[in-house]
């Protein structure tokens, strides 16, 4: 059996009882380590699970999946995913490959940012399409996700923005020269995401992500140090959200009165929050 197990959002204790039982009986245990991170390292997981944990980077999961799936039709293998197993398309691909090899698969779910974002006070059924914001470079400044934000905005729906992380990435030069030298990990902050959105808005000029648009910055949701701050995009530029992981929610025009009341407690400035809500959201 291949077990694909969600670890939740915080630390080694967030695994479900069902997931922990599967890990303990597995011959090999892999930890997917590039689409998200926990607040603890693999050593903590090993101590808690009583099993050796093999860190699986992007190259292993996408190019060497045969090693992960080897003899999984005869022994139990666990593949651990931060959040929920189906939070990233890579994990769907691994399940498809396992099925093609005749390997039984059991998915054990857990909390992910996709549902835990409800902690910010917005109702989950009022969210539209989720988008990802990647780091700009000097030569690549992608903005296709702006169209999805606009589609959500046109329907009055909220948009969850997942922010880029770079783990075990190579520079273009090292990649071209075939050198296995990796850049330090980078995690996009709410502030960087807002800066990029405002730049795109300047170019697109569609009124979707203006400086006075209300949004919510979320950091380390599901952990003991989670931080939630609401305000205009301009206000969020100056907020220190601390360490990773961050996400950003753009508030849609259909924000319910109860949502506004809940969110107000997180506002950078309650008076300005009230003024924007009155002007743009009622």
Give the pLDDT confidence score for residue 280 in this predicted structure. 85
Average pLDDT over residues 66-93: 90
> Domain count of the chain?
2
Does the annotation list 84 as a binding residue? yes
Are 149 and 258 in the same domain?
yes
Q: What percent of the chain has pLDDT over 90?
A: 80
Average pLDDT over residues 183-202: 94
Residue 168 clears pLDDT 80, i.e. is over it: no
Burial of 273 (0-12, 13-18, 19+ CB in 10 A): buried
For the stretch 229-247, pLDDT in tens is 999 999 999 999 999 999 9
Are 169 and 254 in the same domain?
yes
Q: Which has the higher per-residue pLDDT, 60 or 114?
A: 114
Are 103 and 86 in the same domain?
yes
- Domain end call among 50, 80, 111: 111
User: For the ranges 4-8, 113-117, 179-183, 216-220, which has the lowest average pLDDT?
Assistant: 179-183
For the stretch 33-56, pLDDT in tens is 878 888 898 999 999 999 999 998
Are 57 and 156 in the same domain?
no
**What is the C-alpha to C-alpha distance for residues 9 and 200, in angstroms, rounded to an integer?**
30
Residue 214 belongs to domain with CATH number: 3.30.950.10
Cβ atoms of residues 133 and 164 within 8 Å: yes
Give the pLDDT confidence score for residue 30 in this predicted structure. 96
Burial of 123 (0-12, 13-18, 19+ CB in 10 A): middle
pLDDT confidence bin for 184, thresholds 50/70/90 = confident
Q: What percent of the chain has pLDDT over 70?
A: 94
**What is the C-alpha to C-alpha distance for residues 191 and 217, in angstroms, rounded to an integer?**
9
Give the pLDDT confidence score for residue 172 in this predicted structure. 64
Does the annotation list 83 as a binding residue? no
Are 71 and 182 in the same domain?
no
Does the annotation list 158 as a binding residue? no
Q: How many CB atoms lie within 10 A of CB 239?
A: 18
Cβ atoms of residues 3 and 26 within 8 Å: yes
* Residues of the domain holding 53: 2-111
**What is the C-alpha to C-alpha distance for residues 167 and 182, in angstroms, rounded to an integer?**
8
Average pLDDT over residues 73-81: 96
Of 235, 247, 148, nearest to 188 (Cα)?
A: 247
Are 102 and 141 in the same domain?
no
Give the pLDDT confidence score for residue 45 in this predicted structure. 96
Does the annotation list 157 as a binding residue? no
- Domain end call among 111, 142, 164: 111
Average pLDDT over residues 25-32: 96
Are 121 and 107 in the same domain?
no
SS (H, E, C) the chain: CEEEEECECCCHHHCCHHHHHHHHCCCEEEEECCCCCCCCCHHHHHHHHCCCCEEECHHHHHHCHHHHHCCCCCCCEEEEECECHHHCHHHHHHHHHHHHCCCCEEEECCCCHHHHHHHHCCCHHHECCCEEECCCCCCCCCCCHHHHHHHHHHCCCEEEEEECEECCCCCHHHHHCCCCCCCCCEECCHHHHHHHHHHHHHHHCCCCCCCCCEEEEEECCCCCCCEEEEEEHHHHCCCCCCCCCEEEEECCCCCCHHHHHHHHCCECCHHHHHHHHHHHCC
Residue 191: both structure tokens together: 């502030």
Give the pLDDT confidence score for residue 60 in this predicted structure. 82
Average pLDDT over residues 200-214: 95
Cβ atoms of residues 94 and 79 within 8 Å: yes
**What is the C-alpha to C-alpha distance for residues 190 and 246, in angstroms, rounded to an integer?**
6
Q: How many CB atoms lie within 10 A of CB 66?
A: 9
Average pLDDT over residues 17-26: 98
Are 138 and 103 in the same domain?
no
Are 104 and 197 in the same domain?
no
Give the pLDDT confidence score for residue 209 in this predicted structure. 95
Does the annotation list 36 as a binding residue? no
**Cis? peptide before 245, omega within 30° of 0:** yes
For the stretch 92-146, pLDDT in tens is 888 999 999 999 999 999 999 999 999 999 999 999 999 999 999 888 999 999 9
Give the pLDDT confidence score for residue 93 in this predicted structure. 87
Residue 62 belongs to domain with CATH number: 3.40.1010.10
- Domain end call among 85, 111, 137: 111
Are 13 and 129 in the same domain?
no
Residue 176 clears pLDDT 90, i.e. is over it: no
Give the pLDDT confidence score for residue 91 in this predicted structure. 81
Main-chain phi, psi angles of 99, to 5 degrees? -60, -40
Are 127 and 214 in the same domain?
yes
pLDDT confidence bin for 24, thresholds 50/70/90 = very high
Of 51, 47, 14, 10, nearest to 30 (Cα)?
A: 51
pTM of the predicted structure, to 2 decimals = 0.92
Does the annotation list 41 as a binding residue? no
Are 241 and 268 in the same domain?
yes
Does the annotation list 246 as a binding residue? yes
């Amino acid at each position: 059996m291949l077990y694909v197990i969600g670890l939740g959002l915080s630390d080694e204790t967030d695994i479900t009882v069902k997931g922990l039982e599967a890990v303990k009986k597995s011959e090999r245990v892999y930890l997917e380590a590039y689409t998200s991170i926990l607040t603890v390292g693999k050593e903590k997981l090993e101590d808690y699970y009583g099993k050796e944990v093999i860190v699986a980077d992007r190259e292993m999961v996408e190019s060497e999946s045969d090693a992960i799936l080897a003899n999984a039709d005869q022994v139990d293998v666990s593949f651990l995913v931060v959040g929920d197993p189906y939070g990233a398309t890579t994990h769907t691909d691994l399940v498809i490959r396992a099925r093609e090899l005749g390997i039984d698969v059991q998915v054990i779910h857990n909390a992910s940012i996709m549902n835990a974002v409800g902690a910010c006070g917005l109702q989950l059924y009022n969210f539209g399409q989720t988008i990802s914001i990647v780091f700009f470079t000097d030569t690549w400044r992608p903005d296709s996700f702006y169209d999805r934000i606009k589609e959500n905005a046109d329907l009055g729906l909220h948009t969850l923005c997942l922010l880029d992380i770079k783990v075990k990435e190579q520079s273009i030069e090292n990649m071209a020269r075939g050198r296995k030298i990796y850049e330090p990990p980078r995690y996009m902050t709410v502030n960087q995401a807002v800066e990029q959105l405002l730049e795109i808005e300047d170019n697109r000029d569609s009124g979707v992500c203006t400086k006075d648009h209300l949004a919510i910055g979320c950091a380390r949701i599901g952990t003991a140090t989670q931080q939630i701050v609401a305000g205009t995009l301009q206000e969020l530029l100056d907020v220190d959200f601390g360490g990773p992981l961050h996400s950003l929610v753009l508030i849609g025009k259909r924000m319910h009165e109860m949502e506004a009341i809940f969110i107000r407690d997180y506002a950078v400035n309650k008076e300005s929050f009230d003024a924007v809500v009155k002007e743009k959201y009622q």
